[in-house]
Amino acid sequence: MAFEFGAMDHEYFMREALKEAELAARDGERPIGAVIVHNGRIIGKSCARHLSRRSDIAHAEMNAMLQAEQYLNMHARDGCIIYTTVEPCVMCLGAIVMSNIHHVVYGLADNWIRPGEMLEMDYVRRHIENYLGGVLAEASADLFEKNRPEDLSIMREGRHPGARP
């Protein structure tokens, strides 16, 4: 069976990522979730765990990739997709590229970090075949509005109140 990105039910898998984000919110973490899919099957899933792991790199995407690491080593080039409730940050997008995941679907855009600008780099552009945003973005925004409204404002407005001009 040939892989067809457009034939995937992106909303279904984004809802699965939103379930992970809800777990993070329940635990006082940033409400971000991620799932990795291959051939219509979830092979990795996780949520943000910055606080509980006391780690700045415990992002949902990183955690999901670590969970699926062995599988990704064998199958990432075969059409794996990562779904994340918020546009992946620069670190996560770099790890996605290095993990050979060629398809990214996200919900809420991050206008502050603007990681999508990395797609302008030749190396990244050669690796990322699909970069689709806005899938169930309002559901992700609602989680932030309820749990981290200040973070939602930063992502939407594209600036941090404490940042240098």
Active site (catalytic) residues: 61
Determine the 3-state secondary structure of 85 from DSSP.
Answer: strand
The residue behind tokens 């062995």 is 70
Cα separation, 119 vs 54, in Å, equals 30
What is the phi/psi pair of residue 64, to 5°? Answer: -65, -40
CA 7 to mean position of chain CA atoms: 20
